Structure 1
Amino acid sequence: MYRFLLTPRWIALHIVVLLVIPAFVFLGRWQFGRFEERSANSTLVTANLAADPVPVESLVSQGLKESDRFRAVTASGSYDPAHALVVRRRPQEGQLGFYVLTPLVTGPGKAVLVNRGWVKAGATADAPPEVPPPPTGQVTVTGRLRLSETEETAGIKDRPGLPAGQVLLIDTGKIGKALPYQLVGGYVDLMKQQPEAAAAPVPVPAPDVGAGGGLNLAYGVQWWLFIGVAVGGWILLIRREVADRKAAEDAPVQEVGAPST
């Protein structure tokens, strides 16, 4: 009754099922891994955003760590507008624009790079944007600590030949080579400052921590459910074939020339 399972057509079906099952297992495990990564990242970023601000020097003095991303920090000093930069290709709320980077000199030979916010792009690609000046004198800033950018982390290809005062990546190591003081590791997205400026760039929004990988968890469960569908469908086809063959064997054989009833 089950010899049909060894026919070429059915052997091909068995191979497909045997290939599909480990593929779905792999895809499910990959989605579960992404869920764990995103959940851990969401937990870390949420905790860092909610933590009380600490002086930036206390975090970067022993080397900036991945776990310090988006940690609330404070810094005091005076802005150096002579070495300010704008960062190209930074859209916000569907509009093209720039980030405004201004070093905050915190002491003799020391500074932290502050992203003061976003300004819209000029009339042409090479036109400089209109940037509100930073406040003068001593200021205290509070912001989110960010890691220095690379082409891999930012997804932006760096290239030479940009207009003066413009960069594509917030690479503090590279930017610091052109400054007369040493930048601390990373940079700070400004949230607030005292005293406030009369006019300021649009603040950079806080990161969206999302659902912590909830979609990845759902996709992982979905892939593993597909395993049950594949195995169940394979068994169903076999049972249907067996039933059809039994029905064919049990059907009465009509003699040749005999009248049908």
Structure 2
Amino acid sequence: MYRFLLSRQWVILTLVALLLIPAMIRLGIWQMHRYDERAARNQLVSDALSAKPVPVEKLTAPGQAVATNERYRTVTAKGHFDTDDEVVVRRRTNADDEVGYHVLTPFVLNDGKVLLVNRGWIPADQGASQSAFPKVPAPPRGELTVTGRLMPDETTEASGIKNLQGLPDRQIMLINSEHEARRLDAQVLGGYLAQTGPAPKGDTPQQLGEPGDENAALNYAYAIQWWLFAAGVPIGWVVLVRRELRDRRERAAEESATEAQPAAV
């Protein structure tokens, strides 16, 4: 009665089932790796945000990349803003997904080096040309101390944002200290500062919110789901085999009953 398992249909079905089981197991393992990676990133962000503020010069320098474990670290800097060389970063959104600009203002330190400060988000002026420089609220004048989260340079590879050429004057696509060092002809510290202080007053750019935790629990749930699917494949195969065997037995019994009936006279 089990010879039907050698038919082409059942051989193909069995091979597909045998291939699905390891594939689903591997997908579950991959989701667990993703869970570990996201949990580790969340911990790094949490540790960075809770760390004691330090002077920015302790964590970065001209031509130096911001290390992964120093991303989001709270740093301070003393100096003054240089609005003459201020630029805006195109196609940036706020918490409500409104499209506008990020305001990037050079902050000249007391030793002459420059720190790029992302002062926050401003809306795009719908009535103005996209090629015109938007109205940007001025930062405080004179010497002051700014506080913010240290961020690495933006790249196309990491962000997916293309660094378009031929943009309007004083508009850029990516915040990159190397590019800005060439534009400013100055020593620019690696990375940039997402400003959090002084607290905004009046008509100032909307400061960027704190980074949220990535939902690592979803990857854990997906891993369990894939493993349950893998366990369900052989169970489903057995159910199908038993159903096919039952149907064949019922057909065989019906055929036997028909053959046993006496011929009509």
TM over 0.5: yes
Counterpart of 1:21 in structure 2 is 21
| CA shift for structure 1 position 208 | 1.4
| CA shift for structure 1 position 50 | 1.7
Counterpart of 2:218 in structure 1 is 215
Deviations 1:33-64 (A, max 9, x none): 11111111111111111222111111115752
- Rounded to whole Å, the distance in 2 between the matches of 1:140 and 1:167 is 26
Is contact 2:44-2:69 (8 Å) kept? Answer: yes
Deviations 1:173-207 (A, max 9, x none): 1111121421111000000128x665421111111
Q: Which amino acid aligns with 1:82?
A: D
CA root-mean-square deviation: 1.9
| Unaligned runs of at least 5 residues, structure 2 | none
The within-5 A match list for 1:146-165 is: 146-165=151-170
Among candidates 227, 230, 239, match of residue 230 of structure 2: 227
Among candidates 71, 80, 83, match of residue 82 of structure 2: 80
Q: Which amino acid aligns with 2:210?
A: A
Tell me the number of residue pairs that the alignment of Structure 1 and Structure 2 aligns.
257
The within-5 A match list for 1:51-200 is: 51-61=51-61, 64-92=66-94, 93-122=96-125, 123=127, 124-193=129-198, 199-200=203-204
- Rounded to whole Å, the distance in 1 between the matches of 2:202 and 2:109 is 22
User: With structure 1 as the length reference, what TM-score do the two structures score?
Assistant: 0.91
1:3 and 2:7 equivalent?
no
- Rounded to whole Å, the distance in 2 between the matches of 1:180 and 1:248 is 88
Deviations 1:102-129 (A, max 9, x none): 1111133311100011111122322322
- Rounded to whole Å, the distance in 2 between the matches of 1:209 and 1:215 is 12
Q: Which amino acid aligns with 1:49?
A: L
| Unaligned runs of at least 5 residues, structure 1 | none
| CA shift for structure 1 position 241 | 2.3
- Rounded to whole Å, the distance in 2 between the matches of 1:109 and 1:180 is 12
Q: The residue matched to 1:23 in structure 2 has which SS?
A: helix
| CA shift for structure 1 position 246 | 4.0
Is contact 1:135-1:197 (8 Å) kept? Answer: no
The within-5 A match list for 1:242-261 is: 242-249=245-252, 253=257, 254-257=259-262
- Rounded to whole Å, the distance in 1 between the matches of 2:251 and 2:166 is 80
Counterpart of 2:209 in structure 1 is 205
Deviations 1:237-256 (A, max 9, x none): 11222333444556653425
Is contact 2:181-2:187 (8 Å) kept? Answer: yes
Counterpart of 1:37 in structure 2 is 37
User: With structure 2 as the length reference, what TM-score do the two structures score?
Assistant: 0.90
Is contact 1:121-1:128 (8 Å) kept? Answer: no
- Structure 1 residues 42-51 or 57-66, which shifts more? 57-66
Is contact 2:54-2:76 (8 Å) kept? Answer: yes
Counterpart of 2:48 in structure 1 is 48
- Rounded to whole Å, the distance in 1 between the matches of 2:183 and 2:250 is 86
